[in-house]
A = this chain, B = another copy of it.
């Protein structure tokens, strides 16, 4: 039989109320009593029943994470799994648990959100991506349910929406700066999903820093983050002669662009990617890539959400640093 708070109380010769207060380390309990109770807890191997605790405290200490349905195909991209790891670490530190839901489409994601909320299962929700006119975000706002988004939400203005993201503008500015100092005068840019906020911010950094430094810019957008997109983007981009480097908003695009370049006398062109994807079976030379610190994004998202739940949050957003990783050739 499971040991309950009553068993501990009996063993320590106190009331269940006192045991409860010792557990929450209430200042109103005498040190001697605390010590005695703790000994009983230890001895009996007591651990509180979270269900009972949740029922009365109305806090489950569970956070629901909704995986975007595109995740399925995006899983060549290690972002999600690393974000999950970060989420898990932060949750554990704060003594929270994590629940994941995979929607099969946007409707399914919304259903997961509704389900979480209506059944009182989670204290807060974490979304792994911010879409334009995101239905989950809109629903959560309407319900005034605590949530956090990884990525910059459309209406950054609303102070009540929690979010974490990289400073994507700054990250690209930094790359342009390095390239420019390195003598590059004509730089290309290949992106996908032009209407995602992340794309918009990266392009902005690209254009502004380039103009500041007198660098000529050439931009191509494709539909999806695939190798094929990178390849065809590069084909279009390099009709323009003299481009000596290309920034791709994802390593997957960069793989495709690299293939095009290797096939078309472009081996000298410097490639820069985003998201540091281990190229596994990639037979081409490696290229530098911006590490967006996916785990950090997940971790900070949860920290932000929990501080909101505790009403101790100072800010409604958090910027996670990126790091340009320059990679040398290796097997």
Chain A contact residues, CB within 8 Å of chain B: 2, 45, 47-52, 54-55, 60, 62, 71-72, 75-76, 78, 80-82, 84-85, 88-89, 92, 97-102, 118-121, 227-228, 231, 251-252, 255-256, 258-259, 262, 277-284, 331
Contacts and interface: CB of A to CB of B under 8 A. Distances in A.
A280 B76 contact: yes
Contact of A78 (B75, B89, B258): B75
Contact of A51 (B60, B279, B280): B60
Contact of A281 (B72, B99, B280): B280
A101 B120 contact: no
A282 to B, nearest CB: 3
B283 A277 contact: no
A188 to B, nearest CB: 18
20 contacts: A45-B118, A71-B81, A75-B78, A75-B82, A76-B278, A76-B280, A85-B102, A88-B102, A89-B102, A98-B100, A99-B100, A100-B100, A256-B281, A259-B283, A279-B281, A281-B281, A281-B284, A282-B283, A283-B283, A283-B284
Nearest to A111: B92
A94 to B, nearest CB: 14
A99 B284 CA distance: 39
Contacts of A45: 118
Nearest to A50: B119
A112 B32 CA distance: 32
Contact of A81 (B49, B75, B85, B251): B75
Given A259-B283, A284-B281, A331 B48 contact: no
Contacts of A119: 47-50
A121 B51 CA distance: 7
A43 B78 CA distance: 44
Given A51-B120, A259-B281, 4 more contacts: A51-B60, A227-B331, A231-B331, A252-B280
A47 B118 contact: yes
A42 to B, nearest CB: 13
A284 B89 CA distance: 38
Residue picked from A76, A258, A284, most chain B C-beta under 10 Å: A76
Contacts of A279: 280-281
B281 A331 contact: no
A121 B97 contact: yes
Nearest to A97: B99
Q: What 5 pairs across the A-B complex have the smallest Cβ distances?
A: A255-B281, A281-B282, A47-B118, A88-B102, A283-B283
Contacts of A80: 81
Residue picked from A54, A78, A85, A283, most chain B C-beta under 10 Å: A283
A255 B45 CA distance: 50
Contact of A102 (B47, B62, B84, B252): B84
Contacts of A118: 45, 47
Contacts of A252: 280-281
